[in-house]
Chain A
Amino acid sequence: MGNRVSVVVVSGSFERLQMAGMVASISAVSGNDVHVFLSMNALAPFRKGAPSQASPEGEMGKVMAQKKVPPFKQLFESAVELGDAKIYPCSMAMDVLGYARADLEPYLSEHMGLTKFLDEAASGQILTF
C-alpha cells in the first residue's frame, strides 16, 4: 500500500463534492490508502438513491453542470470499487439526521466517530473539503 490519504468532506456544495471525489478517486487508483470521512452537509447526498446533484458555489459549478463531468457520487464509488478506498459516514451526522446504515449507499463503510478517524489519519495527510 502507498501513503495514507484521509479526505474529510463537510461541504454540500457541488464544487467541493466534485473536487473531493476527484481527489479520492485519483488518489485511490494511484495506489494510496484512501479513507474518506463524510459529515455535515456532505452526508445527505449519499443517501441511497439520492441524485448526484448539489448546489453550485460559483461560476465554475454552474458551467460544470452543463458539461459531461463524471457525477461526484460515481467518483466516490470508483474510489471504492477501483482503488479500495473506504468511505466512512460520520456517526454524529448519522445521529443528528436520523440515518441508519441501510439508508446510505451500499459502497459506504460502517459509520465511524471523529476520534477514531483522526487517530487513524494521524500518520498521513489530511485533506478537507
Chain B
Amino acid sequence: MANRRLIDARGSFCPGPLMELIAAVKMAEIGEEIEVLSSDKGSANDIPEWIRKVKHEHIGTEEKEGVWHILVKKTH
C-alpha cells in the first residue's frame, strides 16, 4: 500500500480544509495518497472540484458520522 497522509481539518470552515489539503499535496511525493477529514459539507463538495481542476485523482469520498473522508492521489 502506498504512503498515506492524513489531514484532520474537522471543525474548520471553507476554505480551510482545501488549503490544508493543498499544502499537503505540495509536500507529498507523486503517487502518494492524502486523506482529508472535513466536517464542513461545502468543503466536501468543493475539494473534488479542485482535484478535477488541477488534475489530481479523486479516489473517493465517504461520509461517516458527519465527517467527510476525501481521498486524493497526487498524480503530478
A21: min CB distance to chain B, Å: 9
Contact of A70 among B16, B26, B50, B54 (CB under 8 A): B16
Question: What count of chain A residues pass the 8 Å CB interface test?
Answer: 15
Give how many A-B residue pairs fall within 8 Å (CB-CB). 42
Report chain B residues within 8 Å CB of A78.
19, 22-23
- Knowing A22-B14, A82-B26, say if A70 contacts B19 (CB, 8 Å): yes
Residue of B nearest to A83 (CB): B22
Contact across chains for B15 and A75 when beta carbons are under 8 A apart: yes
Contact across chains for A29 and B12 when beta carbons are under 8 A apart: no
Contact of B19 among A30, A31, A82 (CB under 8 A): A82
Report chain B residues within 8 Å CB of A70.
12-13, 15-16, 19
- Knowing A26-B18, A29-B22, A82-B19, say if A69 contacts B13 (CB, 8 Å): yes
Contact across chains for B13 and A22 when beta carbons are under 8 A apart: no
Does B11 have its Cβ within 8 Å of any Cβ on chain A? yes
> Looking at B15, B19, B22, which has the most chain A CB atoms within 10 Å of its CB?
B19
Write the residues of chain B forming the contact surface with A, with a CB cutoff of 8 angstroms: 11-16, 18-19, 22-23, 26, 50, 53-54
